[in-house]
Amino acid sequence: MDVSISLSDPKWLDATPSCNKTAMPHRTPERHERQVVHGSRRISGPDAGFIVFDHKGRMVKADARAETALATVGVQLNRYPRLRIEALDTSGAKADGARLPDWLDADWIEPVMEGEERLGTVVTIPEKMPERDLAPQSGLPVYKLRRIADFIRSRIDQPIHLEQLAAAAALSPFHFHRAFKRSTGMTPHQYIVHVRMERAKSLLSGSDMPLAEVAGHVGFADQSHFSAAFRRATAMTPRGYRNANTVS
């Protein structure tokens, strides 16, 4: 399925594609995202498992069914930075040769339209993901993705290097990095940061552990570096997150 239709967005994209000369109304990013989500409901229905992407291929929303189904094949949606699929970028900025990740079937993809304008894309996720034995040159098999995820979680309080992950997958670092990104849509480093931040959130909201100890438990050498990374990931300080999420 060809999803490379060029679209305009007045807020995020300056140029209007030649195929549409009519100026689109101004939208804030927040309003645009709400419209994409609303449009996806008209397509998929309220009970379907779905992921919504904006016109630049960035995930806007995913429901619980989609998260559960994709977790079985090693794809984590609740992470930072948010999932982006270049092949779903319809803004005209898609990289040459961009392709769908191996877990995503082209038949699951539908455009979200408002009149002549394509707001984004909705991906309908089946309750049970098909089993796929992916070749190393195109992606990682499911069992290797699970092995890597377990490896990272078991060592989340330590430095984790690309060479270690590649060895666990029995691939060279170059081929592992490429296969991992093709399978999940994110780099190994992005996934490691996501797992560290999710563990930190759990410790911050579920315990009174000092921030310096939380930093050590999620693999940071000192509180300063941890706080900076946490703020980049969540737009909150660790203390602010704890205060906002601790049940009194």
Predicted local distance difference test score (pLDDT) of residue 96? 59
Predicted local distance difference test score (pLDDT) of residue 7? 30
The pTM assigned to this predicted structure is 0.49
Q: Which residue has the tokens 């779905």?
A: 50
Q: Which residue has the tokens 């997958």?
A: 169
With CA atoms as reference, report the closest residue to 156 among 198, 212, 207. Answer: 198
CB 182 within 8 A of CB 139: yes
Spell out the per-residue pLDDT of the chain, length 248, in tens. 333 322 333 332 222 233 333 334 445 556 556 656 665 555 555 555 889 888 888 888 888 888 877 776 667 776 656 788 888 888 776 555 678 887 888 889 998 888 888 888 999 888 777 655 444 446 788 888 888 989 999 999 999 999 999 999 888 898 899 899 888 888 999 999 989 999 999 999 999 999 999 999 999 999 999 999 999 988 999 999 999 987 65
CATH code of the region 142-245: 1.10.10.60
CA distances from 1 to 41, 104, 207 (A): 21, 12, 48
